[in-house]
Amino acid sequence: MHTLTPLVFRNGITDYANFTEYLINLRNTAQEFLQEQSSAISYAPTMTAFLAITLSFLIGSIPISWLIGKIKYNIDLRTFGDGNVGAGNLQRATGLKIGIFAIIADLAKGALAIGLSLLLDTTDWVIMAAGTAAVIGHILPPWLKFRGGRGAATALGVAVGIVPIPGAIMLLIGLLMMLFIKKTLPSIAISVICVIGLSLILSEPTKYIIFLIILFSAVGLKDGIDRLKKAPK
C-alpha cells in the first residue's frame, strides 16, 4: 500500500515537485484502502449464504426412508428393527430394491444441497457449510423429533456435488457392492474409501478432500456411538 507523506509547507512551497503528484498518491491510497475493505466484506456472511445453508438443512431433513415406510408399507421405522429411520432399516423392512432406491434418494439430497448452494453462493466455505447442513438435517430432522438417519448416504451425495468425477465413479462402485453383498453399511464404507482415494488420485482441491474426510469421520463416529448405545449390556 502507498505510504502517503503529508504535505509540508515551507514559505509557500511544498516538498513535492508539484501538487499534482500529491493528488495522484492520495487517489491511489484511497483506492487501495477501498479495495481492502471490499475484500474483507466479501468474506462476511451474506443473505445468500444464510439462504443456501438453511435450504440445505431443510432438504437434508426430509425423512425419505421413513416416508416410504409409513406411506407405502404402513411401517414406522422408529419402531422397527434397530429403530433407525434411514435406508438400511428400510431395506430390512421392505427388501433390497426399496433400500437401494432410498439410498439413491438420500444421496440426491446431499447432491441437491450442493447444487443449490452453487446457484446461490459459490464461496468455498458456504458450499462446505451447506453440505454439512444437509447431513445434519438428515441426522436431526425436526419433523421426527430430531431422530433421523445416520447421514452416510447424504454425506456421499455431498461428495458427488463437490467432487463430481470421483463421486460418479464411487456411485457405480457403491451400487455394484449393494447388488453383490446386499448390505448397506459395508457398501457405504467402501464407497467412502473410493471417493477419498479417487479425489486424491485425480488431484481434487485439498480443501475439499480434507472437508470430506472430516465429514465422513464425524458421520462414522456418530454411527459408532449410536451402535454402542444400542448394544446389549
- Residue 57: its pLDDT value, please? 97
22 plus 81 within the same structural domain: no
84 plus 33 within the same structural domain: no
81 plus 167 within the same structural domain: yes
- Residue 39: its pLDDT value, please? 52
Q: Is residue 139 part of a domain?
A: yes
Residue found under cell 426399496: 98
The interaxial angle of helices 164-181 and 152-162, nearest 10 deg, is 150
138 plus 91 within the same structural domain: yes
Give the C-alpha separation, 129 to 54, whole Å: 10
18 plus 52 within the same structural domain: no
146 plus 162 within the same structural domain: yes
Question: pTM score > 0.85 for this model?
Answer: no
187 plus 143 within the same structural domain: yes
- Residue 17: its pLDDT value, please? 53
104 plus 181 within the same structural domain: yes
- Residue 4: its pLDDT value, please? 47
18 plus 131 within the same structural domain: no
Give the C-alpha separation, 73 to 79, whole Å: 13
17 plus 121 within the same structural domain: no
pLDDT tens digits, the chain, 233 residues: what are they? 444 444 444 444 445 455 566 556 666 676 676 566 545 445 456 888 999 999 999 999 999 999 999 999 999 999 998 888 988 899 989 988 999 899 999 999 999 999 999 999 888 999 999 999 999 999 999 999 998 988 989 999 999 999 999 988 988 888 888 788 777 778 888 888 899 999 999 999 999 999 999 999 898 888 777 777 766 65
Helix, strand, coil in percent for the chain, rounding step 5: 75, 0, 25
Q: What total number of domains does the chain contain? A: 2
161 plus 187 within the same structural domain: yes
Q: Is residue 3 part of a domain?
A: no
Q: Is residue 196 part of a domain?
A: yes
Question: Which residues contact residue 141 at a Cβ distance below 8 angstroms, ignoring those fewer than 6 apart?
Answer: 60, 61, 62, 63, 147, 148
Give the C-alpha separation, 6 to 231, whole Å: 75
Q: Is residue 176 part of a domain?
A: yes
Question: Which residues contact residue 9 at a Cβ distance below 8 angstroms, ignoring those fewer than 6 apart?
Answer: none
SS3 (DSSP) at 16: coil
- Residue 12: its pLDDT value, please? 44
Give the C-alpha separation, 174 to 189, whole Å: 9
Distances (CA, A) of 70 to 75, 149, 197: 5, 15, 37
Q: Is residue 17 part of a domain?
A: yes
Closest CA to 67 of 59, 58, 57, 77: 77
Q: Is residue 219 part of a domain?
A: yes
26 plus 52 within the same structural domain: no
Q: Is residue 4 part of a domain?
A: no
- Which residue range is the domain that position 29 belongs to? 9-40
